[in-house]
A = this chain, B = another copy of it.
């Protein structure tokens, strides 16, 4: 019951490390905003500490409600370090625009990012493992998990999945034009925003693909 309430349009509780030291007006703890930023991406940057030093690796993730899943081979470093629990920071960033101001100082980027702090745990429950693997595939192409061969026992044994709960979370968003200084407005430099987006090209079938296997409907919306 509390979980249902927690998921209905409420906000994450700010903590000392999710309140930024600057540009606080860009920070948000809104659950729907966080979910929307997470759901539009599939690659995150996962940070953890090894021998006292930070490591940041790009990796795929999937969201199921208030849980994120990342996966790797059972021999990968995060997987080997995740017992009994690995402190991580998982960050997802969309670049939406290049912000060019008259002054070098006010150049910026329009972006939406989510930063998740927490402890990742290895998934051992077989049902949760399968749900997580489906989520990882569907995060990249929604609907794809129903149209591919599920992992067999050997593949499952080779795959480690880590779970990270969405609890200590913040989003950060910058939108709009450059914040030029009033005294700079007459300078002869162009000022404005260059929109940035992700472009998906025409799918390239594998050379081995039979001619009668059509492009699935769920891929035409990419």
Which A residues have a C-beta under 8 Å from some C-beta of B?
17, 21-22, 42-43, 45-50, 52-58, 60, 72-73, 75-77, 87-91, 93, 95, 98, 100-105, 107, 109, 111, 113, 115, 117, 133-134, 136-137, 140-141, 144-145, 147-152, 155, 159, 177-178, 180, 184-210, 213-216, 219, 222
Contact = CB atoms under 8 A, between A and B. Distances in A.
A55 B113 contact: no
A193 B203 CA distance: 6
Contacts of A46: 56
B190 A53 contact: no
24 contacts: A42-B109, A45-B45, A45-B91, A52-B87, A54-B55, A55-B89, A95-B198, A100-B141, A101-B148, A103-B148, A103-B149, A104-B149, A107-B136, A107-B148, A109-B140, A141-B194, A147-B190, A180-B208, A191-B209, A193-B204, A193-B206, A194-B201, A194-B222, A195-B200
A204 B196 contact: no
Contact of A149 (B102, B109, B159, B222): B102
A54 B103 contact: no
A180 B201 contact: no
Nearest to A193: B204
A113 B152 CA distance: 30
B195 A17 contact: no
A216 B192 CA distance: 12
A33 B188 CA distance: 37
B206 A177 contact: yes
Contact of A208 (B43, B144, B191): B191
Contact of A180 (B77, B107, B197, B206): B206
A206 B184 CA distance: 13
A105 B147 contact: no
Given A98-B222, A149-B187, A191-B213, 17 more contacts: A17-B53, A45-B45, A47-B55, A52-B87, A54-B55, A54-B89, A56-B91, A58-B113, A98-B141, A98-B200, A102-B148, A103-B151, A104-B148, A107-B144, A188-B213, A189-B213, A190-B203
